[in-house]
């Protein structure tokens, strides 16, 4: 694979994503890898002239056919998204006249309904840290900290990156509301609920933690913030303790949050705002989950089903 430093347009594009668009580091990394992968393919096939404006749609089609044999449909879609965005950037800078990735046909993605926990399963997970502590299988600090993490993820529908970035200055404990910075650093107000707020107060007071304005809401014993990977790891521990599927992730707790809101009568637009979705179509997938559950209940209970 070519070195990024050999492609100054790519480094400028990544800086633009990170500094101007405030795109997540994860997305910047994936878009960079997509461009490098495309350039490597052009080099190996003898079609790389060193100029992005020399790339033609016929080359793009050949690339997609070949990549489709080794990549999943989801990964292929993500790569093309990155390459399209790269060419949009190049056109804006006047480096290319056309975008060869415009209008390319991609294989349809399979629409899988999001996985989630039932309300009773969720209660079991939320109770798991303190039960492990009482059984002597988890330290006191970790038990109360992990309970807070689970309550915030589920009570506020937070992304794990939003949780790890939450500071005390962002939380109004009196109102039970947090100022959250989501994708693209978009800001939203997120109700967390009285249970999560009580967990936060208990955690801070019980362990006499630093609760200064810039201090992290969830932290390690040394006061440093938690990383998403650490949150994912501790979730596995509590899923196992609650005898729940180990493939659940922090993001699937967010699915559970949205599904339970809709099941209990929340308005779809309100759920969209709570989740911080830019498009209503992203939120509508949860209505399909609720409808699927209703149909299954009908199938099991109705004599004519």
Task: Work out the average pLDDT over 59-78.
Answer: 92
Asked if 137 is an active-site residue, the reply is no
* pLDDT recorded at residue 193: 85
Q: Among the options 84, 252, 277, 293, which is catalytic?
A: 277
Asked if 277 is an active-site residue, the reply is yes
Report phi then psi at 221, rounded to 5. Answer: -60, -30
Lowest mean pLDDT, pick from 48-62, 145-159, 258-272, 279-293: 279-293
Query: How do residues 130-161 score in pLDDT, each as one tens digit?
Result: 999 999 999 999 999 999 999 999 999 999 99
Q: Quick check: 2 pLDDT over 60?
A: no
Considering the domain delimited by 119-300, tell me its CATH architecture. Orthogonal Bundle (1.10)
* pLDDT recorded at residue 55: 94
Q: How confident is the model at residue 270 (pLDDT cuts 50, 70, 90)?
A: confident
Query: How do residues 206-219 score in pLDDT, each as one tens digit?
Result: 998 887 889 999 99
Sign for the CA dihedral angle at 146, 150, 153, 159 comes to: positive
Select the highest-mean-pLDDT range: 1-15, 158-172, 256-270, 290-304: 158-172
Asked if 183 is an active-site residue, the reply is yes
Q: How confident is the model at residue 293 (pLDDT cuts 50, 70, 90)?
A: low
* pLDDT recorded at residue 34: 95
**d(Cα 246, Cα 252) in Å, to the nearest integer?**
11
Q: Among the options 167, 183, 188, 293, which is catalytic?
A: 183
Return the CATH number of 4-92, one of 2.50.20, 3.40.50, 1.20.120, 1.10.150.
1.10.150
Lowest mean pLDDT, pick from 213-227, 235-249, 258-272, 290-304: 290-304
Q: Among the options 79, 238, 254, 255, which is catalytic?
A: 254
Q: Which long-range contacts (CB under 8 A, 24 or more apart) does 189-198 make?
A: 190/156, 190/157, 190/158, 190/274, 190/276, 191/156, 191/274, 192/152, 192/155, 192/156, 193/151, 193/155, 193/156, 195/151, 195/155, 196/148, 196/151, 196/152, 196/155, 196/156, 197/173
Asked if 255 is an active-site residue, the reply is no
Q: How confident is the model at residue 294 (pLDDT cuts 50, 70, 90)?
A: low
Cβ atoms of 219 and 145 closer than 8 Å: yes
Look at residue 188 and give its three-state secondary structure.
strand
Length of the chain in terms of residues written: 305
Query: How do residues 88-128 score in pLDDT, each as one tens digit?
Result: 999 999 999 999 999 888 888 766 667 889 999 999 999 99
Domain assignments of the chain as residue spans, ordered by start = 4-92, 119-300
Task: Work out the average pLDDT over 162-181.
Answer: 92
Asked if 159 is an active-site residue, the reply is yes
Q: Among the options 159, 238, 255, 260, which is catalytic?
A: 159
Asked if 92 is an active-site residue, the reply is no
In degrees, rounded to 5, the angle at the alpha carbon of residue 299 between the alpha carbons of residues 296 and 305 is 155
Q: Quick check: 301 pLDDT over 90?
A: no
Look at residue 171 and give its three-state secondary structure.
strand
Task: Work out the average pLDDT over 183-197.
Answer: 86
Q: How confident is the model at residue 1 (pLDDT cuts 50, 70, 90)?
A: low
Q: Is the pTM of this model over 0.75?
A: no
**d(Cα 7, Cα 174) in Å, to the nearest integer?**
51
């Amino acid at each position: 694979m070519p070195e990024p430093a050999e492609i100054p347009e790519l480094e400028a594009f990544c800086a633009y994503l990170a500094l101007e668009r405030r795109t997540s580091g994860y997305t910047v990394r994936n878009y960079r890898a997509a461009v490098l992968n495309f350039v490597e393919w052009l080099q190996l096939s003898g079609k790389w002239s060193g100029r992005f404006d020399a790339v033609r749609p016929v080359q793009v089609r050949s690339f997609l056919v070949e990549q489709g044999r080794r990549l999943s449909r989801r990964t292929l879609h993500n790569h093309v998204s990155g390459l399209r965005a790269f060419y949009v950037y190049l056109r804006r800078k006047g480096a290319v006249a056309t975008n060869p990735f415009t209008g390319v046909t991609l294989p349809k993605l399979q629409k899988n309904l999001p996985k989630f926990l039932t309300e009773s399963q969720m209660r079991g997970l939320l109770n798991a840290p303190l039960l492990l502590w009482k059984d002597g299988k988890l330290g006191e600090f970790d038990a109360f900290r992990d309970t807070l993490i689970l309550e915030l993820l589920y009570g506020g529908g937070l992304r794990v990156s939003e949780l790890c970035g939450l500071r005390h200055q962002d939380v109004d404990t009196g109102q039970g509301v947090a100022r959250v910075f989501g994708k693209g650093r978009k800001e939203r107000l997120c109700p967390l609920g009285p249970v999560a707020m009580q967990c936060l107060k208990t955690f801070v007071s019980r362990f006499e933690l630093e609760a200064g304005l810039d201090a992290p809401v969830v932290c390690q014993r040394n006061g440093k913030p938690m990383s998403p990977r650490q949150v994912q790891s501790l979730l596995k521990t509590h899923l196992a303790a609650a005898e729940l599927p180990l493939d659940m992730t922090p993001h699937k707790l967010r699915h559970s949050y949205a599904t339970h809101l809709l099941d209990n009568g929340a308005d779809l637009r309100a759920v969209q705002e709570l989740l911080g979705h830019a498009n209503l179509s992203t939120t509508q997938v949860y209505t399909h989950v609720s409808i699927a559950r209703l149909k299954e209940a009908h199938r099991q209970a109705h004599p004519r089903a």
